[in-house]
Amino acid sequence: MNDCQTYRALVPGYADGELSEEQAAPLRQHLLSCNACRNAVQDLDHVGRWFPREPELEVPEGFAARVAAAAFAGAEPVARPRPRAQQRPAAAAAPDAEPRLMGFVLTLTSVAAGVLLTLALLMAREDEPQGTQMSAEPLPAILQELDRLNGERGEAP
């Protein structure tokens, strides 16, 4: 069991491909004989499929040195436009589509709120009494019927 605890600590790094060959080889050997650790690796693999890996970025040679030199020289940061692959195609196709959509959604929301308010007021009015007099006429008849039923059972009122 102690081996499993040792190897379990290596499982996340193994699933992410971060282990060196010296670390991964004994873990692979252990996975051949340990079903629980093998299931842990498979579970992490299934979770990893939900998060696709970003492609590796290629950093030009000397980039770090140029950035450090510019930083020490007090250079202002330069904002560069994003490459076309990272731009949103919908924004380029219809630049005013988003404000129009927002206006439509807000209008639709306000109409729906008005309809719901009207319905709520109508429903509240239905619950109000319809006459000018309030009476409890059936109450004495109900009490007499209850007394009669209790008497049939032999219970004292």
Residue 35 within a domain: yes
Phi, psi of 82 (to 5 degrees): -70, 150
Distance CA 109, CA 104 (A): 8
Identify which has the larger pLDDT, 18 or 132.
18
Residue 12 within a domain: yes
| Tokens read off for 139 | 């109450």
Q: Is residue 4 predicted with pLDDT exceeding 80?
A: yes
pLDDT reported for residue 83: 64
Distance CA 79, CA 58 (A): 19
Residue 9 within a domain: yes
Q: Where are the beta strands (DSSP E) in the chain?
A: none
pLDDT-derived band at 91 (thresholds 50, 70, 90) equals very low
Residue 110 within a domain: no
3-state secondary structure 78-110: CCCCCCHHHCCHHHHHCCCHHHHHHHHHHHHHH
Domain span at residue 38 reads: 2-48
- For residue 16, CA distances in Å to 6, 24, 26, 28, 29 come to 17, 11, 17, 14, 18
Taking only the tens place, the pLDDT of each residue in 94-143 is 556 677 888 889 999 999 999 999 999 888 877 666 667 666 677 778 88
Distance CA 67, CA 52 (A): 30
pLDDT reported for residue 58: 86
Task: Name the pTM for this structure.
Answer: 0.35
pLDDT reported for residue 128: 66
Residue 67 within a domain: no
pLDDT reported for residue 41: 87
Residue 36 within a domain: yes
Taking only the tens place, the pLDDT of each residue in 32-78 is 999 988 888 888 887 777 777 777 788 889 988 988 888 888 877 77
pLDDT reported for residue 49: 74
Neighbours of 100 (CB within 10 A): 10
How many structural domains is the chain composed of?
1
Q: Which of 4-13, 81-90, 110-119 has the highest mean pLDDT?
A: 110-119
Residue 43 within a domain: yes
Residue 75 within a domain: no
Distance CA 11, CA 18 (A): 10
Identify which has the larger pLDDT, 44 or 156.
44
